[in-house]
Amino acid sequence: MKYTGPIFRPPPEANTLLLQVTVGCSHNTCSFCTMYADTPFAVETMEQIERDLAEARNRYDRLTRIYLLNGDPFALGANKLKAIAEKIIAYFPEMETITMYASIRNIKQKSDEDLKQLRSLRINEIWVGVESGDDEVLRHLRKGHSLKEAYEQLARLAEAGIDHNGMYMLGVAGSGKGIQHAIDTARLINATRPRLVGVTTVGFFDGSDLSREVMENRFSPATEREILEEERTLIELIDVENVEFFGDHPINAVAISGFLPRDRQDMLETMDHILEHGNPAILNRIVPRSSL
Ligand code: SF4
């Protein structure tokens, strides 16, 4: 299998075969992100993709899920994605789900008909970096989408029958704003009904614009306590039937996951216990999180 440069995939895809269809990220301007800063965006050739699929077919008797790399492969044109999906199905007729990362912009660039055709080619679940339910925060992060666009495009995705796993950030609104950020983000989640909600704590990585803002005192980071209170509020307010809450990302202070509403009470009790009995010297600190 050919892999170029750094590779990032959501932790729950740890056991999924990774197929490189792009390198880097087509957006590459989010103010907090340095993942692909030194990796120019490129599109993998169909010849190489086919070589990798042939190699995988030799290795695996049965494959029902595959994850397309890299930062936002849904940026590819619909025809290219359809051609890739058709190749995957030709090699793996048993394939059930072709998944990948997508931005709200990537969805906006596809027609309703494109989305339906991609769904019919088993692209039926995608990971979307939504990050926030606050318009000002989204602008600050330079995500490339507005809150209105997030509502609209996630609705179009659902209409086409494509499930989404929504990725959101904690601590990203800054000190004193976490609870309101959780309220606004829960409102977006409840309206757009993801299959999974993943949360990651904002990091201040060397070279990112956000880390420069912190160093120059232009952004006031939240303490660990504020971040946990934000996460607790989110867990409390998510009102989607049988949604998986994934908080086990290694960048988070507390590994907490479960299904809502089923596990809500247990999860809230865990958070309350940590907030009440955790070491104040840690809870009241600002942890820079300068690497993944
Ligand atoms: S957060 Fe995602 S969309 Fe933004 S620059 Fe990083 S990889 Fe690209």
Helix (H) or strand (E) holding 78: helix 78-91
Choose one of 9, 29, 35, 108 to mutate for the ligand 1 pocket test, by most ligand atoms within 8 angstroms of C-beta.
35
Is the whole model's pTM more than 0.75, yes or no? Answer: yes
What is the set of domains in the chain, with CATH numbers? 11-283 (3.20.20.70)
Residue 292: its pLDDT value, please?
65
Residue 289: its pLDDT value, please?
85
Pick the atom of ligand 1 nearest to 26's CA. Answer: 8
Residue with CA nearest ligand 1 atom 3 = 27
- CA 21, 158, 248, 168 dihedral sign is positive
Pick the atom of ligand 1 nearest to 142's CA. Answer: 4
What value, to the nearest 5°, has the Cα angle with vertex 75 and ends 2 and 132? 110
Segments of the chain scoring below 70 in pLDDT: 292
Identify the residues whose C-beta falls under 6 Å from ligand 1: 25, 27-28, 30, 33, 35-36, 71-72, 103, 129
Residue 290: its pLDDT value, please?
78
Pick the atom of ligand 1 nearest to 101's CA. Answer: 2
198-241 residue pLDDT tens: 999 999 999 999 999 999 999 999 999 999 999 999 999 999 99
